[in-house]
Chains A and B, each alone.
Chain A
Amino acid sequence: MIGDDIQQHRRRGRVLFACCAVVLAFLVLRVAQLQVARHDVLHRIGEQNRLRPLTVQPTRGRIYDRQARILVDNRPSWTVFVTPVGGVGQERVIAELAGILETPSESMRERMQQRRGYQYTALPVMRDVSFDAVAHIRERALDLPGVTIQMEPRRRYPFGTLAAHVLGTLREIDEADLTERQRQGQDYLFGDMVGKRGLELTEEETLRGTRGVEYVEVDAHGRVVREVTSAAERPPRHGRDLLTTLDIDLQLAAESAFHDTARGAVVALDPRDGAVLVLASVPGFDPLDFSGVLDTETWNRLTNDPDRPLLNRAVAGLYPPASTLKVLTALAGLQQGVITPTTRLDPCVPGGWALGNRPFQCWSPGHGSLMLVEALEQSCDVYFYQVGVRTGLKPLHDLAVQFGLGHRVGIDLPDELAGSFPDDGWYNRRLGTGRWNESSQVINLAIGQGEILATPLQVAVMTAVVANGGERVTPFLVREVLEPADGTLQPRSHEPSQPIPGLDSQDLAVVRAGMEAVSNGEHGTARWLAPRLPGIRVAGKTGTGQNPHGEDHAWFTCYAPAEAPEIVVTVLVENGGGGSTVAAPIAFEVLQAWARTRPSVPATVVGEGGVR
Chain B
Amino acid sequence: MRGGLGAVLWARRDFDRVLFWSVVALLVIGIAFVYSATVENVQVPTPLHTRQIVWALLGLALLFLVTALPIQFFYSTSYILYGLAILLLVGILVAVGGSSRWFDFPLGIRFQPSEPAKVALILAAARYLAGRNVSFRRVQDFLVPMALGGLPFLLVARQPDLGTSVIFPVIIIPMLFWRGLPLWAIILLCSPGLSVMTAFSPLTWGLMLLVIGAIVWRARLRRGVAAAVLLTVIAFGVLTPMAWDHLHEYQKQRIVTFLNPQQDRLGAGYHIIQSTVAVGSGGLLGKGYLQGTQTKLNFLPEQHTDFIFSVIAEETGLLGALTVILLFSLILARALRAAAEIRNPFGQLVVVGATAVLFFHFVVNVGMALGLLPITGLPLPFVSYGGSHLLSQMVLIGLILGFRMRWMEY
Contacts and interface: CB of A to CB of B under 8 A. Distances in A.
B144 interface: no
Given A16-B174, A24-B328, A46-B280, 10 more contacts: A4-B345, A9-B178, A17-B332, A17-B333, A28-B325, A35-B283, A43-B283, A49-B274, A49-B299, A221-B298
Interface string B172-210: 001001101000000000000000000000000000000
Interface in B259-283: 266, 274, 276-283
B325 A1 contact: no
B279 A34 contact: yes
Given A220-B299, A221-B298, A13 B337 contact: yes
B396 interface: no
A30 interface: yes
Contacts of B174: 16
B280 A35 contact: yes
Q: Which 8 A-B residue pairings sit nearest by Cβ, starting from the closest?
A: A42-B280, A46-B281, A220-B298, A13-B340, A219-B297, A1-B345, A34-B280, A43-B281
Nearest to B179: A1
Interface residues of A, number: 43
A35 B317 contact: yes
Nearest to B348: A9
B366 interface: yes
A431 interface: no
A32 B274 CA distance: 17
A57 B312 CA distance: 40
B340 A31 contact: no
B284 interface: yes
Contact of B177 (A4, A12, A218): A12
Contact of B266 (A15, A23, A43, A120): A120
B277 A35 contact: no
A35 B318 contact: yes
Nearest to A35: B318
Contacts of B284: 35-36, 39
Contact of A4 (B180, B276, B317, B352): B180
Given A24-B325, A39-B281, A34 B276 contact: yes
A143 B174 CA distance: 48
Nearest to B274: A49
A46 B294 CA distance: 7
A10 interface: yes
Contacts of B216: none
A45 B276 CA distance: 10
A17 B336 contact: yes
Given A13-B339, A46-B277, A143-B43, A27 B325 contact: yes
Interface string A1-22: 1101010011011011100110
A217 B293 CA distance: 10
Contact of A6 (B325, B336, B340): B340
Nearest to B372: A30
B28 interface: no
B293 A50 contact: yes
A38 B325 contact: no
Interface string B56-99: 00000000000000000000000000000000000000000000
B299 A219 contact: yes
A39 B283 CA distance: 6
Given A27-B370, A35-B282, A220-B298, A142 B313 contact: no
B131 to A, nearest CB: 10
20 contacts: A6-B340, A12-B177, A13-B340, A15-B177, A16-B352, A17-B332, A21-B329, A34-B313, A34-B371, A35-B279, A35-B321, A36-B284, A38-B280, A39-B281, A42-B276, A43-B283, A120-B266, A143-B43, A218-B297, A219-B296
B281 A31 contact: no
A49 B275 CA distance: 12
A10 B370 CA distance: 32
Interface string B298-333: 111000000000000100011001100100110011
Contacts of A50: 293, 297, 299
Contacts of A120: 266
A24 B371 CA distance: 15
A24 B329 contact: yes
Contacts of B322: 28, 31
On chain B, which size bracket covers the interface? 35 or more
A49 B294 contact: yes
A225 B340 contact: no
Max chain A Cβ within 10 angstroms of own Cβ: one of B130, B279, B328: B279
A135 interface: no
Contacts of A49: 274, 277, 293-294, 297, 299
A16 B339 CA distance: 11
B102 interface: no
B340 A41 contact: no
A476 B348 CA distance: 96
B138 to A, nearest CB: 17
A414 B345 CA distance: 91
Contacts of A35: 279-280, 282-284, 313, 317-318, 321
The interface centre, meaning the residue of B280, B321, B329 with most chain A CB atoms within 10 A of its CB, is B280
Given A1-B130, A50-B293, A143-B43, A31 B339 contact: no
B363 to A, nearest CB: 6
A143 B329 CA distance: 41
Interface in A34-74: 34-36, 38-39, 41-43, 45-47, 49-50
A305 B367 CA distance: 68
Contacts of B333: 17
B35 interface: no
Interface string B137-170: 0000000000000000000000000000000000
B359 interface: yes
A2 B372 CA distance: 42
B177 A27 contact: no
B102 to A, nearest CB: 15
A10 B282 CA distance: 39
Contacts of B41: 219
Contacts of B352: 16
A590 B300 CA distance: 69
B202 to A, nearest CB: 28
B43 A142 contact: yes
Contacts of B299: 49-50, 219-220
Contacts of B337: 13
Nearest to B328: A24
A144 B16 CA distance: 50
A45 B281 contact: yes
Contacts of B294: 46, 49
Nearest to B355: A16
Contacts of B366: 27
A46 B370 contact: no
A439 to B, nearest CB: 76
A20 B293 contact: no
Contact of A46 (B132, B180, B293, B339): B293
A218 B177 CA distance: 52
B336 A36 contact: no
Nearest to B332: A20
A42 B325 contact: no
A41 B329 CA distance: 30
B280 A43 contact: yes
Contacts of B281: 39, 42-43, 45-47
Nearest to A27: B366
Contacts of B341: 6
Contact of A20 (B277, B317, B345, B359): B359
A4 B174 CA distance: 17
Given A1-B130, A16-B177, A34 B43 contact: no
Contacts of A10: 340
A582 B280 CA distance: 82
Nearest to A120: B266
Contact of A39 (B280, B296, B328): B280
